[in-house]
Structure 1
Amino acid sequence: MADLLLRLANDRRSAGLIRKLGLPTPVRLARAEGAYDDAPLAGRVTLVGAAPGGLAVDALQKAAAEAGATCVAALAEGQSADTLLFDATACRAPADLAALHGFFAPKLRRLARNARVLVVSADPSELADPVAAATARGIEGFVRALGKEIGRRGATANLARLAPGAESQLAGLVRFCGGPRCTYVSGQVFRLTSAPAPAPAARQLAGKVAVVTGAARGIGAATAQRLSEEGARVVCVDVAAARDALYETAARVGGLPLVLDIAAPDAPAALSAFLREKTRGVDVLVHNAGITRDKTLANMKPDVWDAVIAVNFTAITAIDAELLANGLLHDSGRVVCLSSVSGVAGNFGQTNYATSKAALIGYVAAQAPRLAARGITINAVAPGFIETPMTARIPLMMREAGRRLNALSQGGQPRDVAELVTFFALPASAGVSGNTVRACGLALIGA
């Protein structure tokens, strides 16, 4: 369903009235089309700064330059900043935090629409000194608050927590967080660890096989499209009731359709057999399929509870166990689970759904170290309000609240979620594992 307020706020004939009425004035968000190219930040005016003694400033400079950014030491008269990159890894005491104010405050009035901010800090868990750890943790609060201040421009702000020796991992993250592909990802934390990873390039998934469950429509279809754009051959999985849409998606992305109820007892074995015969395994596994069966807990029947847990949680763990046991999930593979902001904060009438989605957050955190020896990463994406046929059926006032209660004052698109999934799926993201990152436009209440 079209967002009427977004259209009116960006129409010269009605924008003034919208402002006079005190309504939110969302801007049109910049989005990328197609696959990554060799210079995804081309034409973006970029400033790179650092607190004294920063460890990552050279890596940030190099990543921005190699991505095609126009790096400048200072803004010229009338020039706006498209991307701000700041190295705060040397902030270890309260006084050091003044460097954040010193770099950002003078530039914010000259921030372009759809600008991007990426701050890099030390990982608090790696710091033995309590004051140093607390200082690094404080930077997360700064980034979240800044994201809420600049969201009205369609701008985003994110944080990278850097483990020792992980500077090379910034190259892929700068390409994602420094440009239009992170349009609905803001106020989020990416934890980067040291890992061998190829340099970012175009069509990094060429020759690789991806599996996307729930691929017939919405986020699943958008994800299948994005992965195919990066060169992957996509196995599109969905239930029999969605057969027609599934086959249309598979044909559109040049993939293979597989009709399968992932919650069926024989589903893991059936998927395993299909992959063994058709593709000889999988490199990228996206657990997108999920269901809702909303009732308050007092009115929820046991079978309704069981159905949601079975599809949203049990099926995922069973499929992973099957593919790992049979060696069908290749070394250096990628697993991405679709969680939800409901799994982060809970939601009225969704005890079953919130339980299942919170379980996935715990699952990726627990699995990440176990899969690391094989170079496999596992992460979760937690979407907020995304414009899909399902959210179009939500009553008007609830739908409007879902759209407006984030820093960008609008709902996201399925492709916005697919961009984050694709970032996690790329070979250049080898040092990113065990993360849960929200694609929610930065909720105004909470994180």
Structure 2
Amino acid sequence: MADWYTTFANSGFGTTITKQLGLPRPAVLRRYEPGQPLLPGPAVVGSAGDGRLRDTVTAVLRDAGVTVQSPVTADGGTDGAKPAAVILDATGVTGPGDLAGAHDFLAPAIKRLRASGRVLILAAPPTDADSPAQAAARQAVDGLVRSIAKELRGGSTANAVFVPEGAEDSLAGPLRFFLSGRSAYVDGQLLTVSPADVPADQDEERPLAGTVAVVTGAARGIGAEIARVMARDGAHVVAVDIPAAGDNLAQVANEIGGTALQLDITAAEAPQRLVEHLRERHSADGRQGVDVIVHNAGITRDKLLVNMDAARWNSVMAVNLQAQLDITQALLDSDTLQPGARVVCVSSQSGIAGNRGQTNYAASKAGVIGMVRAWAPLFAERGATINAVAPGFIITEMTATMPFGTREVGSRINSLQQGGLPVDVAETIAWLAQPGSAGVNGQTVRVCGQSMLGA
């Protein structure tokens, strides 16, 4: 499915009509396709203060075949074509005065940014600052990047990564993600990386080759797309869904060359059944179990809180939250998770911003974020990671049944002025599942086009 208005507005007739009526024309986003370059043009890299990451960034870019330009000068001069990415190393800021350097670099560079460009700001965490002035300057990056994201047009995005001392080796994976088409619908977000053992080499075309990945709720919609993207990236996917969705589940599994497992994840025996299935079907050559778990299964049972019965409340909590807790704990207890495993949990924008008539759903999805944050230290001890993805308005068969006005408002109230696609969620999850994402742990990444709702 696609955003009908974006498709219309970028057609020949639609372009004419929207221009005459003064209507917005959302850009066609640059999304990832296998074999495409990291960036469709050069990148310009600059710094504010005495940054420590510029050489690391330059090395990653050149290794990916990206031409690195000198910073744009104040009068607009450059040493080449319009940049496809603008990257600021702000790890050296020590006080508010240093932020002038951020302005001096970013303003002329962003002015020349091509369509579907990327702005990325790298900074040290405010929590690690040595003084209130330094903490203030580092925290300023938060407001800076969120505001830049709201100012950009043409499908361009702006994001930030906080990189503490000692976590420099964890930067390459997030850097590639935020610059690539994989992050097309991730905008105005801040991510913190941590020190980790990151593999020196990763096959960027098939980073999940040789892995086993479980995807729950895989029979349709976002879950089916997650399964497809994981398989495209090399994983053998165990597609899980309820028996009632068996036909669709088998179709998805056959399409991607995976395995279908019919399982009600809320059943008391479900965690052990999954463990046994993984041990019986995916244990060989000294390995047992699974490399990636994607907790995608979820339901809605909407009603105003004062009118909500216990069945609606309990069923949503059981599927959206308790099942994730129970299955993950069973995998931990049985040592079924491989060393370096990745667990990715699907939360929601509603879990951050709340939503009228969705107290049960929003509470369950907020709970997912708390679960991820609490489990992150234990996963780090095992060389594994656990993260969450929080989708915003994603165009699916379910949203197609919404009233027209509700659907259109939901699609437009973000900086990219359009609804996201299931593949946008899938790409973010697949990135978090990569070996190169070892330094991303306990994080929640919103895939919402920088929605105006919530943080």
Q: TM-score range by the shorter chain?
A: over 0.9
Other structure's SS at 1:284 match: strand
TM-score (norm 1): 0.96
The Cα offsets for residues 314-348 of structure 1, whole Å up to 9 and x where unpaired, read as: 00000011111000011110000000000000000
Corresponding residue for residue 395 of structure 1:
403
Corresponding residue for residue 311 of structure 2:
303
Q: Does 2:444 correspond to 1:442?
A: no
Rounded Cα–Cα distance in structure 1 between residues aligned with 2:4 and 2:92: 46
Corresponding residue for residue 286 of structure 2:
none
Residue number among 400, 404, 415 corresponding to 2:412 in the alignment:
404
Corresponding residue for residue 70 of structure 1:
67
Q: Does 2:15 correspond to 1:15?
A: yes
Q: Does 2:163 correspond to 1:162?
A: yes
CA shift for structure 1 position 51: 1.4
Q: Does 2:28 correspond to 1:28?
A: yes
Other structure's SS at 1:24 match: coil
Corresponding residue for residue 371 of structure 1:
379
CA shift for structure 1 position 9: 1.8
Return the letter of the residue paired with 2:63.
E
CA shift for structure 1 position 80: 1.7
Rounded Cα–Cα distance in structure 2 between residues aligned with 1:393 and 1:13: 27
| Structure 2, gaps ≥5 residues long | 284-288
The Cα offsets for residues 176-220 of structure 1, whole Å up to 9 and x where unpaired, read as: 111211000011111111111113333221111100000111111
Other structure's SS at 1:380 match: strand
Rounded Cα–Cα distance in structure 2 between residues aligned with 1:308 and 1:261: 13
Rounded Cα–Cα distance in structure 1 between residues aligned with 2:2 and 2:334: 45
Corresponding residue for residue 137 of structure 2:
135
The Cα offsets for residues 410-438 of structure 1, whole Å up to 9 and x where unpaired, read as: 01111111111011100111110000010
TM-score (norm 2): 0.94
Rounded Cα–Cα distance in structure 2 between residues aligned with 1:27 and 1:312: 33
Matches within 5 A, 1:211-360: 211-280=214-283, 281-360=289-368
CA shift for structure 1 position 4: 3.2
Q: Which moved more, 1:9-18 or 1:106-115?
A: 9-18
The Cα offsets for residues 389-414 of structure 1, whole Å up to 9 and x where unpaired, read as: 11111110000001100001101111
Corresponding residue for residue 87 of structure 2:
85
CA contact (8 A) 2:3 2:395 kept: no
Rounded Cα–Cα distance in structure 2 between residues aligned with 1:69 and 1:218: 35
Other structure's SS at 1:197 match: coil
CA shift for structure 1 position 242: 1.2
Return the letter of the residue paired with 1:169.
S
Other structure's SS at 2:115 match: strand
CA shift for structure 1 position 227: 1.2
Other structure's SS at 2:393 match: coil
Rounded Cα–Cα distance in structure 2 between residues aligned with 1:31 and 1:274: 35
Rounded Cα–Cα distance in structure 1 between residues aligned with 2:239 and 2:292: 12
Rounded Cα–Cα distance in structure 1 between residues aligned with 2:4 and 2:366: 33
Other structure's SS at 1:311 match: helix
Rounded Cα–Cα distance in structure 2 between residues aligned with 1:97 and 1:76: 22
CA contact (8 A) 1:233 1:254 kept: yes
CA contact (8 A) 1:63 1:170 kept: no
CA shift for structure 1 position 108: 2.2
Residue number among 386, 398, 414 corresponding to 2:422 in the alignment:
414
Q: Does 2:44 correspond to 1:47?
A: yes
For these two proteins, the number of residue pairs brought into alignment is 443
CA contact (8 A) 2:86 2:109 kept: no
CA shift for structure 1 position 44: 2.3
Rounded Cα–Cα distance in structure 2 between residues aligned with 1:304 and 1:52: 54
Other structure's SS at 2:440 match: coil
The Cα offsets for residues 108-146 of structure 1, whole Å up to 9 and x where unpaired, read as: 232111101111000111123122112111101100110
Corresponding residue for residue 147 of structure 1:
149
Corresponding residue for residue 430 of structure 1:
438
| Structure 1, gaps ≥5 residues long | none
Residue number among 54, 58, 65 corresponding to 2:55 in the alignment:
58
Corresponding residue for residue 380 of structure 1:
388
Q: Which moved more, 1:44-53 or 1:318-327?
A: 44-53
Instruction: Go from structure 1 to structure 2 and tell me whether the alpha carbon gap of 1:204 and 1:123 turns closer, same or farther (over 3 Å shift).
Output: same
Return the letter of the residue paired with 2:49.
P
CA contact (8 A) 1:378 1:433 kept: yes
Corresponding residue for residue 117 of structure 1:
119
CA shift for structure 1 position 2: 4.5
Return the letter of the residue paired with 2:48.
A
CA shift for structure 1 position 228: 1.2
The Cα offsets for residues 5-56 of structure 1, whole Å up to 9 and x where unpaired, read as: 212321233324313433221011111123xx5x842542111111131011
Runs of 4+ in 1 over 6 A off after TM superposition: none
Q: Does 2:103 correspond to 1:106?
A: no
CA shift for structure 1 position 444: 2.9
Return the letter of the residue paired with 2:281.
K
The percent identity for this pair of structures is 48
Q: Which moved more, 1:197-206 or 1:187-196?
A: 197-206
